[in-house]
Chains A and B, each alone.
Chain A
Amino acid sequence: MTENIKIPTVSDLAAQDKTPEVLFWVGCAGSFDDRAKRVTVAFVKILNAVNVDFAVLGNEESCSGDPARRAGNEFLFQMQAMSNIQVLNGYNIKKIVTACPHCFNTLKNEYPELGGNYEVIHHTTFLQQLINDGKIKLKEGGSFKGKKITYHDSCYIGRANNIYEAPREVLASLDADLVEMKRCRTTGLCCGAGGAQMFKEPEHGKKDINIERTEEALATGATTIAVACPFCMTMMNDGVKNKEKESEVKVKDIAELIAEGQGL
């Protein structure tokens, strides 16, 4: 299997005069964070298994600028955005899929007014489309049957972009027992990492946000906390470890769950 996994870069394809149908934007977390890298790999395996004509930017990728903009450094954000747009436009990229809701939001909503116009899809929506098109078929009574899964809404795909159902539909296809937290969908509680909080210590308070959210997730009795964002992944993982529940409760990205379900 391993030898068969192809991860073409856009520049390789360009050398052959080809453009990928869809660019997989990996993001900084997906490239450098050890836990998030496993999600990147899972997603790449799925893309391979269903023969998607994709490529990655490899070393030509760069931070989308999201944390810079949210932390107030508009210059840095626009520098990043505009150099990324130069690269993307240079390769004539039309469609982008990403597993990071922050990159997704920035590329989709904030690049157009700076000259970058692409069809940007979050990987949960992309997976939902693959399932709907019958390209991913999940076996009935698979390994998830009867398992309790709760889904933690990422703010940047949920409230920020009104995507609430795609991740849930993907999870429903796993034949698992999907249980909701008290605060979900439009009232979903943030994991605590958005708005560049991922990169600094929280301000003084009586509790960390990820602990509050983890307690809520654990209260559902779910054995899997499904996430769709690398930052949520870190925060929920830290929360589960803090509660010393890591042996019973797993935090998994939706792409990992699908890859598992496919035996990839």
Chain B
Amino acid sequence: MEILQQIVFVLVLASASFVIRKRVLRIKANIHLGKPNDIKDHPNERLKNVLLIAFGQQKMFKKITPAVLHFFIYAGFLIINLEVLEFIIDGIVGTHRVFAPFLGGLYPVLMNLFEFLAVAVLIACVCFLVRRNVTKVERFQSPEIKGWAKLDANLILTIEIVLMAAILTMNASDQLLQSREPHHYVSTGSIFFSSFLTPIFSNLSTPALIFIERFAWWFHIIGILGFTVYVTYSKHLHIFLAFPNTYYSNLEQKGHVKNMPIVTNEVKSMLGLPSETAATTEPGRFGAKDINDLTWNVLMSAYSCTECGRCTSECPANLTGKKLSPRKIMMDTRDRMEEVGRSLEAGGAGLNDGKFLLGDYITKEEINACTSCNACVEACPVLINPLEIILELRRYVAMEESGAPAQWNAVFQNIETNFAPWKFAPSDRFNWAKEIK
């Protein structure tokens, strides 16, 4: 019986690992559909961002209520995973609470800590469900947060609640079994939170208790493995990618727009200036029409987005009813990557499916509404930059399609001929000095 459980466990673990590995490789390949971008500068500053912003959750604390609730779930995720290690060893080797004899008096302390976190996670998830579905916090009601995006968020919270309930159930039944069969069940001492649950189970027979303990154990570990697989398809991927995303985020002043060296070379040769590098062979598109025109780190940032909507709730265009939503820009980028990835996996056309990020996902009306005010960039707790995508799409429209709004085309013409965005004669530029009264 024991050995059968071990075999089943190893099989479950192996298949979960197989699926997770396959998904991780797919996501990696999707990210590398993007253009190369060698980011090796300022490693210390980048590490500092990871520690403060991802690990330390610094930017979350601009909104204190969700920050505290989120912190419980985050701490729970980091620390309860230590217990998962014990689960896995127990499962493979066939032991029960393998760490208990080694840790001695520390073990009950740890168990109490894990349970405290489990209860905190559970309460936080309930609060988040209420915020989303009952009090209806505004940023969760946008058009892009309907359908799958809404279900995804509710599923994550529900799964976490159920997983935490399983830990508490397991510990409660285990504590009863410790008193009934001390030879088989290593003593953990009293564990605070689950001891409130023991009265529910105390009238049950020992075999029933054993069944409940085993069921909760299996439920929790299969749940964790299943959830990990699920995460790779979900916005919840931020739990891993927030860390590299903060590392590779933009360190320049927010006002700086990324230069296009290919244009620099052409402009230099037009002006008769010596250009540093010889003209590259394949210039590709100017700006971005599809995901492969964006750099890999921008694509990774789309996978790091957890759709919290802090960007959209600060966006002046969105606030005044325009179609633009910075969150949707990130979601669209991710959806397009997933679509291309699925197609490639099935041996399909991939990027050549006749669809594009611009047009099929993001419309010109959306990108034309952006004021480049950087409110979205400032708001993002994990340093995602929706503005970079918007500007790259605008570059494609302006330079490859000459499809900028007519009034912008007029501005371009004015700058070219009059060196000002308005139609004034350049020779009148200094007239203001004559008008001083």
On whether A201 and B433 interact (CB within 8 A), knowing A161-B253, A209-B320, A212-B320, the answer reads no
B427 touches A197 (CB 8 A): no
Please measure, in the bound complex, the distance between the C-alpha atom of A5 and the C-alpha atom of B397, giving whole angstroms: 46
Task: Say yes or no: is A156 at the interface (Cβ < 8 Å to chain B).
Answer: yes
Q: List 18 A-B contacts (CB under 8 A).
A: A7-B433, A7-B436, A9-B430, A31-B431, A32-B429, A71-B404, A72-B404, A78-B263, A79-B267, A105-B253, A114-B259, A159-B378, A160-B254, A187-B379, A195-B371, A200-B405, A200-B408, A209-B319
Task: Say yes or no: is B353 at the interface (Cβ < 8 Å to chain A).
Answer: no
A109 touches B255 (CB 8 A): yes
Please measure, in the bound complex, the distance between the C-alpha atom of A159 and the C-alpha atom of B416, giving whole angstroms: 30
**Of all chain A residues, which has the CB nearest B398?**
A72
A78 touches B264 (CB 8 A): yes
Please measure, in the bound complex, the distance between the C-alpha atom of A193 and the C-alpha atom of B373, giving whole angstroms: 9
Please measure, in the bound complex, the distance between the C-alpha atom of A33 and the C-alpha atom of B273, giving whole angstroms: 34
Stretch touching chain B among A57-65, A124-132, A174-182: A57-65
A109 touches B252 (CB 8 A): yes
Task: Say yes or no: is B182 at the interface (Cβ < 8 Å to chain A).
Answer: no
A2 touches B436 (CB 8 A): yes
CB-contacts of B389-417 with A (<8 A) = 391, 394-399, 404-405, 407-408, 410-412, 415-416
On whether A159 and B374 interact (CB within 8 A), knowing A67-B415, A72-B391, A109-B253, the answer reads yes
Most buried by A among B321, B371, B404: B371
Point out the residues of chain B lying under 8 angstroms from A159, CB to CB: 254-255, 373-375, 377-378
Please measure, in the bound complex, the distance between the C-alpha atom of A40 and the C-alpha atom of B436, giving whole angstroms: 10
B369 touches A205 (CB 8 A): yes
* Chain B positions 96 through 120: 1 when the CB is less than 8 Å from some CB of chain A, otherwise 0: 0000000000000000000000000
Residues of A within 8 A of B (CB): 2, 5, 7, 9, 26, 28, 30-33, 37, 40-41, 44, 56, 58-59, 61-63, 65, 67-76, 78-80, 82-83, 86, 105, 108-110, 113-114, 155-156, 159-162, 186-187, 189-190, 192-209, 211-213
Point out the residues of chain B lying under 8 angstroms from A73, CB to CB: 395, 398-399, 404, 408, 412
B420 touches A71 (CB 8 A): no
Task: Say yes or no: is B266 at the interface (Cβ < 8 Å to chain A).
Answer: yes
Task: Say yes or no: is B42 at the interface (Cβ < 8 Å to chain A).
Answer: no
Point out the residues of chain B lying under 8 angstroms from A196, CB to CB: 372, 408, 411
Point out the residues of chain A lying under 8 angstroms from B415, CB to CB: 63, 65, 67-68, 76, 80
Please measure, in the bound complex, the distance between the C-alpha atom of A195 and the C-alpha atom of B317, giving whole angstroms: 12
Please measure, in the bound complex, the distance between the C-alpha atom of A79 and the C-alpha atom of B419, giving whole angstroms: 11
Task: Say yes or no: is B323 at the interface (Cβ < 8 Å to chain A).
Answer: yes
Task: Say yes or no: is B286 at the interface (Cβ < 8 Å to chain A).
Answer: yes
A209 touches B426 (CB 8 A): no
Please measure, in the bound complex, the distance between the C-alpha atom of A187 and the C-alpha atom of B311, giving whole angstroms: 11
Task: Say yes or no: is B223 at the interface (Cβ < 8 Å to chain A).
Answer: no
**Of all chain A residues, which has the CB nearest B287?**
A72
A194 touches B371 (CB 8 A): yes
Please measure, in the bound complex, the distance between the C-alpha atom of A167 and the C-alpha atom of B306, giving whole angstroms: 36
B430 CB, nearest partner CB in chain A, Å = 4
On whether A31 and B430 interact (CB within 8 A), knowing A155-B371, A194-B372, A200-B407, the answer reads yes
B263 touches A193 (CB 8 A): no
On whether A31 and B420 interact (CB within 8 A), knowing A37-B432, A110-B257, A207-B321, the answer reads yes
On whether A74 and B411 interact (CB within 8 A), knowing A195-B373, A204-B365, the answer reads no
CB-contacts of B35-75 with A (<8 A) = none
Task: Say yes or no: is B314 at the interface (Cβ < 8 Å to chain A).
Answer: yes
B264 CB, nearest partner CB in chain A, Å = 6
Partner of B411, one of A44, A83, A199: A199
Task: Say yes or no: is B422 at the interface (Cβ < 8 Å to chain A).
Answer: yes
**Of all chain A residues, which has the CB nearest B432?**
A37
A76 touches B416 (CB 8 A): yes
Most buried by B among A67, A73, A208, A212: A73
Task: Say yes or no: is B18 at the interface (Cβ < 8 Å to chain A).
Answer: no
Task: Say yes or no: is B271 at the interface (Cβ < 8 Å to chain A).
Answer: yes
Partner of A192, one of B371, B378, B421, B424: B371
A160 touches B255 (CB 8 A): yes
Point out the residues of chain B lying under 8 angstroms from A114, CB to CB: 259, 264
B429 touches A63 (CB 8 A): no
B404 touches A58 (CB 8 A): no
Point out the residues of chain A lying under 8 angstroms from B405, CB to CB: 200
A167 CB, nearest partner CB in chain B, Å = 16
A75 touches B267 (CB 8 A): yes
User: Beyond A59-B427, A63-B419, A75-B399: 5 further Cβ-contacts under 8 Å?
Assistant: A31-B430, A72-B397, A72-B399, A82-B273, A203-B324
A212 touches B319 (CB 8 A): yes
**Of all chain B residues, which has the CB nearest A6?**
B433
Task: Say yes or no: is B138 at the interface (Cβ < 8 Å to chain A).
Answer: no
A247 CB, nearest partner CB in chain B, Å = 23
On whether A189 and B316 interact (CB within 8 A), knowing A78-B263, A155-B373, A159-B254, the answer reads yes
B71 CB, nearest partner CB in chain A, Å = 21
Please measure, in the bound complex, the distance between the C-alpha atom of A68 and the C-alpha atom of B410, giving whole angstroms: 11
Point out the residues of chain B lying under 8 angstroms from A41, CB to CB: 432, 435-436
**Of all chain A residues, which has the CB nearest B267?**
A78
Partner of B420, one of A32, A82, A202: A32
Point out the residues of chain A lying under 8 angstroms from B398, CB to CB: 71-74
A222 CB, nearest partner CB in chain B, Å = 20
Point out the residues of chain B lying under 8 angstroms from A156, CB to CB: 255
Point out the residues of chain B lying under 8 angstroms from A201, CB to CB: 407
Partner of B408, one of A32, A82, A199, A206: A199
